[in-house]
Structure formats: structure tokens, C-alpha cells
Amino acid sequence: MNLENICKQVIELTKSVGQFILNEKDKNLTIEVKGIHDFVTYVDKTAEQKLVDKLVQILPEAGFIAEEGTSVKKGDMYNWIIDPLDGTTNFIHGLSPYAISIALMENDKVILGVVHELSLNECFYAWENSGAYLNGKKIKVSEIGKVKDSLIATGFPYYDYDRIKPFMTTLEHFMANSHGVRRLGSAATDLAYVACGRFEAFYEYSLSPWDVAAGAFIVQQAGGLISDFRGENNYIFGKEIIACNNKVFNEFLDTVKTIMNN
């Protein structure tokens, strides 16, 4: 399997579907409510259908784990994990960022990831053992070595508020002991920004596989480290993730692990 060639095809696909999304952004959108603070529009659904239709042609044997459920086919070995529009709430309010996120999983391992942030036309991508790239240029995580010198990204939970008190404690800690905390509203973009060194760390809970699979893989290919809140590897399906450069990871993880798991 030529992963580089497949990645190039996926990048071109995100460009074409991304143009469709951008063409729709100033229209009067019909918004459906999937859950509290959880929205979907015809743009999400149409974009996902376009992605699925083309990805079937690129790799016919692959199945799908897709946010809007356009395809429920499961592949024996390969599965695409796709979010057609990560940051829908931003999109419907005319804010940035919002992104297309596509990962390819072989058995239980991600081997390719593309995150195309549309408002700045920045395409982050990687395939197995490739390193990580942004619009054709190689990227890597930052060299910052201490949390106190780091800029941190996070996201707020949409529905699971059982852990909100310890989460707010982490926010208080990082606000007082870092360069600051940012909440952009697109986990895929947050992860891509860790990969290219704009953030030193990102953490969030109540996430889905399509939010994190591609971005986490790109961080790893850029030299960063990924885990769940316990320092283990259940971050794609475990609904929580930490992503850092390799120098602040242990310090950052220790804080999150101590506070969030008590």
C-alpha cells in the first residue's frame, strides 16, 4: 500500500470538499440539534457524503467511523475515521477555526492523518513514518521545556459535566502556571497546532474518535507525545486526550493525572 499516494489523494479531497463548505458559510443554514450544545447542518451531512463517496474509491476495502453516520460499513482491516466539519458551532456563528479531519486506521493503529483547517487554508498531514507536514513544509512540535513557558489549548465539555469541577481546577492551575490557556472550538485544529509548535500542550475530555484520530497521529509524527489522562493509550476511543511536545509531556501529564483522576 502506497500511503504517500493515498495521503495525496485525501489532501485533494479535503480541498474540494473544503471549497464546498466555504461556499456555504454565508448562507442561511438550517441547524439541527443533536444534543445540548451539539449541532449539525446540511453542510456537515453533505460534506460527509462527499468524503465517503470518494474515500470508497480510494480504498474500496475500508470501512468508516463517521460522525454523521453516512456509512456504517466496517472494514476487516482498514477503517476511515472522519469528521466532515470539526468546529460546527464556530462555523454556524461565522467564527474560526473549523476543519475537515480524516484518519486511516489499520486494525487498531492509525497510519495516516489529514486535518485541513479551512479558514486559513492550512492542511496538516502525515502518513506512517513520514514526519508531519503543513502545506508541503515539514513541521515539528515546539522545543519549550517547561509548562510555565507553554501556551496550552483545551476544550469545554458539551454534555459530560460530571468531571467539570476537577477540570476547572486544572484550568485554574494552568492559567496561573503557564503563558495562558486557549479554547478554539476545534479539537482537530488544536492538535494540529501542537504538531506545528503553536501550542505546547492540549487536553480535553468528552471527545469522539473523529475529533482526535487524525490530529493525534500528526502530533506523533511531528515528534510529540499522546496519552489519555492516566498516561495510557486509550485516547482515540477513551474520550480523553493529552497531546504535548516531548519535553513538557511528563510535567503536564502529572498535573492532569493527579487532578482529573482523584
Distances (CA, A) of 248 to 36, 89, 93, 193: 34, 31, 34, 15
Residue with cell 460530571: 162
228 Cα distance to chain centroid: 14
Q: What is the mean pLDDT of the chain?
A: 94
Name the pLDDT band for 32 (thresholds 50, 70, 90).
low
- Proportion of the chain above pLDDT 70, given as a percent: 95
Identify the DSSP state of 147.
Answer: G
pLDDT of 39 strictly over 70: no
Sign of the C-alpha dihedral computed for residues 184, 117, 140 and 77 taken in this order: positive
In which band, very low, low, confident or very high, does the pLDDT at 70 lie, cut at 50, 70 and 90?
confident
**What is the mean predicted confidence (pLDDT) over 202-207?**
96
Encode pLDDT of 49-67 as tens digits.
999 999 999 999 999 999 8
Does residue 182 have a pLDDT over 70? yes
What is the number of other CB atoms lying within 10 angstroms of the CB of residue 99? 34
Q: Give the pLDDT of residue 33.
A: 56
pLDDT of residue 213: 98
CATH class of the 3-138 domain in this structure: alpha beta
216 vs 219: CA distance, rounded Å: 5
Residue 25 is given by DSSP the state T
What pTM did the predictor assign? 0.95
Alpha helices in the chain (DSSP H): 3-24, 42-58, 88-92, 164-176, 187-195, 209-221, 249-260
Question: Across residues 163-178, what is the average pLDDT?
Answer: 97
Domain ranges for the chain, please list them: 3-138, 147-260
Most confident of 23-37, 68-82, 230-244: 230-244
Looking at residue 67, the DSSP 8-state letter turns out to be T
Domain 147-260 has CATH 3.40.50.620: no
pLDDT class of 42 with cuts at 50, 70, 90: confident
Label residue 37 by pLDDT band (50, 70, 90): very low
pLDDT confidence of 124, banded at 50, 70, 90? very high
More confident residue, 80 or 161: 80
